Chain A
Amino acid sequence: MKINVNGKELTIDVTANPSLLEALREQLDLTGTKYGCGEGACGACKVLVNGTPLPACITPAVTVQGKKVITIEGLETNGELHPVQQAFLEVDAFQCAYCAPGMIINAVALLEKNSNPTKQEIVDAMNGNICRCCTYPQIVEAIYQAGKQLA
């Protein structure tokens, strides 16, 4: 099956009906997208599908045919970090950082819709993403800073 990931037309084998997460990680070596729970409850595997953040672990790969998938690896342009990534780097928000790709993808989607969210709007939009190291205040701060940059 043809799949468009990060602007590239790629081919994946869907005979075993893999999830989008499995296809990205095992067939395309795009391992930035993480497994966390397998039921769309933690946000570690979020990718943008036509701009909407979806949990790749419960999205069958076959359902993204003809759509545009953006993963964490697709956010940089010409080696320049996305403003959200830049803000996370500057705020130094993460500990183990395993949740980082899903957090950043979800934050990018939030800022596309609402470029200058309040902290409460950030909390509401990010609640589906778990940071088990619990540096939540730092993550809110990073997204808030990114919003200020983009506004």
Chain B
Amino acid sequence: MTKTKANPTLKAKSGISKSAVTNLSRRTFFKRMGVGVASCVMLSDIVMGEMLAADAADSLAAWIHVSDTGRITVFSGKAEVGQNIRTSLTQVLAEELFVSVDDIDLILSDTMRTPYDRGTTGSRTTPQMVPLLRRAAATVREILLETAAESWNLEKQSLDLERGTIAHPSNGKKLSYADLVSGKKLLRDVDSSAPLVPVEQWRIAGTSVPKINGRDFITGRHKYASDMTLPGMVYGKILRSPAVGAELIEIDTSEAERMPGVQVVKDGSFIGVTARDSSTAQVALALIQAKWRHSEQPSRSNLFEHLVSKSKNSPSPKNGVEKAFTQSSIQLEQEFLIDYIAHVPLEPRVGMAEWKGDKLTVWTGTQKPFGVQEDLSNEFGISKGNVRVIMPDTGSGYGGKHTAEAGVEAARLAKAVGKPVKVSWTREEEFKWAYLRPSGVIRVKCAGTDSGGLSSWEIYNFNSGGSGIESPYEVDTKHHQYISSDPPLRQGSYRALASTANTFAMESQMSDMADLLSMDSLDFRLKYLKNERLSNVLVAATEKFGWKRSKAPGSGYGLGCGTVKGGFVASCAEVEVDVATGEVSITRIVTAFECGAIINPRHLESQITGCVLQGLGGALFEAIEFEQGVVTNASLSSYRVPRFKDVPVIETVLVNRPDLPSAGSGETPIIGVAPAIRNAIADACGVKINRLPMLPDGRLPRV
């Protein structure tokens, strides 16, 4: 370890030199935490181009505290929704602090206890938090080393570290972190020059540490927000409108009000009930007579016409692209249709709220606890300081839990009835009133020359989004455009956003273009890829898959690749098509993924497997059906998600790059699977399915 000098102030990347410590009252900090040695990280060190509301209290991003028992507590506003960041972040902390993962308590997502965080989205936890936490942990470790060095009157680099103790080089004496911290109240900014353990020397990070608290989850002991209760709590239900755009015109709640123990809350169009158990609340809700005025709404049958006709703009190709297209000898123009799909987190939305005077506490499963805090503060006109949002590790999100609905509903009911209230959404409510992955119409135009050149590339996405719309291939003239529309259903974020749809369209087009130019679709891609990291995963996946193997009759191979959010993925699919019956079976999917230095190989493999199989659902059969603004398959018996029997042979190749910073893995691996399957079907039988989902009934569409 090199010698370092403690740096009293952190140099902020934004150019604003501002000490985190000066913004934090030392007295308050140590009153809350107890004596110890601590280090904190400022938000300005994270923020690169992202502007955040940063008043003094909000300017901290994370802090680490070592107590006089040697216990280490780390605070971050990130959310654990099953991506296993609790484990990966603890690993990198343990690595720098020379302790076991068991010595660390990582406190996440509690607006009172943890620093502000914008939300756990966009695969940002790993690239944002890992470097920060490593540096903060290294700062603390260096403080401890300095303290030991002082007490022995030695140079700190002569000391040895091992699981929470510092050893004297010659006399065999040891000082534990607890000894070193005893009686101290030392709080410092992160020292940006504190040396990090090099990735090649990682002993804890980089290994498959099992899920932290794994035992609590397999024994049923972990309390998700939906499992929590409070003394005197009642269960709440909300009256939902029957369709998008329906307006409440008449309501009779008298029967519900007559039920013993039931309270009805009416506040404009917000109508809810509470009862001492959820079955009573459900009955009370059913007894409410409501009349609604419906308005004309789109249906699935006219969804795609609607998206194009209501679009806010028209395709406006940049000069040059059109010319290059018309002048080329080989032209290909296709349209891809993308249905709405739902996240279906197995734990539906839930909020539990308690008021004490004008102070509100809400427990909820969310990817944005501080966003929920802000919504609650706006809803009730109280300061954010009076709103505490706590998020226990949650039953998944996939981008579907960015919003505050259940928390706000519980808080409104709790305020009205004067008791703590829990509102748990049903699966039907989740399907109908949460938000969906946007539907879309994607048009791709490209042209090639007889010599095998790709001369123009255009892509227009109506409604589904601009994420991942940029082609990774080198083409002389390119143009991409996202065109927003008037979505008929509530839509929002989803794992990898629109990259899945855009990659489906682009990678389908690439394979079809390779066919037109009589080139192998792997060679064609490699020819136009200048991005080495993407080429590498493409090669890794196709090697593992055996891309150039001969094929049995009726079978086909396809591939799809792309890069978003700092990750690089390539998937290969093998399918078998029975041309007589039209039946298609997906037999094998091989995925290679690279996201820099791997922190936990086992959990990375789970993320990739999960992405591929969730992607398989959207590729093959998931679709929201709706009629006049009403979702008509709002149940798990009618909306099909992947099950055990849908799982083909799944193989993953983890491409480790210890020389590169770690990126997230929860989204990118989803994007290659749909085009890989689509291209494999086309390879097997020539049928090109330019629509997601491709095989809602397991058979080729009738042409």
Contact with A along B588-618 (1 / 0, CB 8 A): 0000000000000011001101101110010
Contact residues in B for A38 (Cβ distance below 8 Å): 426-428
Chain A residues with Cβ under 8 A from B643's Cβ?
127, 130, 136
B547 contacts partner chain A, Cβ-Cβ < 8 Å: no
B185 within 8 A of A: no
Q: How far is the CA of A101 from the CA of B218 in the complex (A)?
A: 6
CB-contacts of A127-143 with B (<8 A): 127, 129-140
Whether A41 and B217, one on each chain, are in contact in the complex, defined by CB atoms closer than 8 angstroms, is: no
The reply to whether B347 and A133 form a contact with Cβ atoms under 8 Å apart is: no
Contact residues of B between 606 and 635, Cβ < 8 Å to A? 606-607, 609-610, 612-614, 617, 635
A26 interfacial contact with B, CB 8 Å: yes
A31 at the interface (CB under 8 A from B): yes
Structural contact, A22 and B217, CB atoms closer than 8 A: no
Chain B CB within 10 Å — which of A26, A126, A133 has the most?
Answer: A133
Q: With contacts A31-B227, A32-B220 known, is A92 near B650, CB below 8 A?
A: no
CB–CB B279/A97 < 8 A: no
Judged by a CB distance under 8 angstroms, whether A29 is at the interface is yes
A122–B221 CA distance with the chains assembled, in angstroms? 26
* Contact indicator per residue, chain B 179-222, by CB within 8 Å of chain A (1) or not (0): 00000000000000000000000000000101100110111111
B345 at the A/B interface (Cβ < 8 Å)?
yes
A31-60 contact mask (Cβ, 8 Å, vs B): 1 or 0: 111111111011010000000000000000
B345 and A39 form a contact (CB under 8 A): no
| A26: chain B residues within 8 A (beta carbon) | 235, 277-278
B283 on the A face (CB < 8 A): yes
| Contact indicator B223/A31 (Cβ below 8 Å) | yes
Other-chain contact of A88, B218, B227, B283 (Cβ < 8 Å)? B218
Within 8 Å by CB of B647, from A88, A99, A129, A136, lies: A136
Q: Which residues of B contact A122 (CB under 8 A)?
A: 644
Check B30 for interface membership: any CB of A closer than 8 A: no
Bound form: Cα–Cα A139–B643 in Å: 12
Question: In the complex, what distance in Å separates the CA atom of A36 from the CA atom of B226?
Answer: 11
**Interface extent on A, as a size class?**
35 or more
A96 and B396 in contact (CB under 8 A), knowing A42-B346, A132-B614, A132-B641?
Answer: yes
With A72-B220, A138-B609 known as contacts, the answer to whether A130 contacts B277 (CB < 8 A) is no
* B499 CB contacts on chain A under 8 angstroms: none
A39-B635, A92-B602, A136-B613 are contacts. A100–B217 as well, Cβ < 8 Å? Answer: yes
Check A73 for interface membership: any CB of B closer than 8 A. Answer: yes
Q: Is A62 an interface residue (CB 8 A)?
A: no
Asked if residues B278 and A92 are in contact (CB atoms below 8 Å), the reply is no
Query: What total of chain B residues lie within 8 Å of the partner, measured CB to CB?
Result: 60
Contacts of A27 in B (CB 8 A): 277
User: Which residues of the partner chain A approach B278 to less than 8 Å between Cβ atoms?
Assistant: 18, 22, 26
A69 CB within 8 Å of chain B: no
B425 to chain A, nearest CB (A): 10
Q: Does A76 contact B (CB under 8 A)?
A: yes
Q: Is B549 an interface residue (CB 8 A)?
A: no
B637 within 8 Å of A by Cβ?
yes
- Alpha-carbon gap, A112 to B233, bound state (A): 39
- Residue interface bits A83-122, CB-to-B below 8 A is 1, else 0: 0010011001111111111001000000000000000001
A interface SS class: loop
- Quick check: A96 and B347 within 8 Å, CB to CB? yes
Does A16 lie at the interface of the complex (its beta carbon under 8 Å from any beta carbon of B)? yes
CA distance A73 to B279 in the complex (A): 23
Separation of A133 and B82 alpha carbons in the complex (Å): 8
User: Contacts A22-B277, A137-B647 known; A85 to B396 CB distance under 8 Å?
Assistant: no
Q: What mask results when residues 227 to 242 of chain B are scored 1 for a CB within 8 Å of chain A, else 0?
A: 1010000010000000
Asked whether A123 lies within 8 Å of B644 as measured between CB atoms, the reply is: yes
Closest Cβ neighbor of A57 among chain B residues: B427
Is A71 engaged at the interface, CB distance under 8 Å to the other chain?
Answer: yes
Would you call A41 and B636 a contact (CB within 8 A)?
yes
Q: Which residues of B contact A39 (CB under 8 A)?
A: 427, 635-637
Interface presence of A68 (CB below 8 A): no
B346 pairs with A44, CB closer than 8 A: yes
A19–B215 CA distance with the chains assembled, in angstroms: 28
CA distance A35 to B227 in the complex (A): 10
Contacts of A95 in B (CB 8 A): 82-84, 396, 606-607, 610
Please report B residues at the A interface, Cβ cutoff 8 Å.
81-84, 208, 210-211, 214-215, 217-224, 226-227, 229, 235, 277-280, 283, 344-348, 393-396, 398, 424, 426-428, 602-603, 606-607, 609-610, 612-614, 617, 635-637, 641-645, 647, 650
What are 29 pairs between A and B in contact, CB < 8 Å? A19-B279, A22-B279, A27-B277, A29-B229, A31-B226, A32-B220, A34-B224, A34-B346, A35-B348, A36-B636, A41-B637, A42-B346, A72-B219, A72-B220, A85-B219, A92-B211, A92-B602, A97-B82, A98-B396, A123-B644, A130-B641, A132-B344, A134-B612, A134-B613, A134-B614, A136-B643, A136-B644, A138-B606, A138-B609
Across the A-B interface, the 4 shortest Cβ-Cβ residue pairs: A32-B220, A96-B82, A98-B395, A134-B613
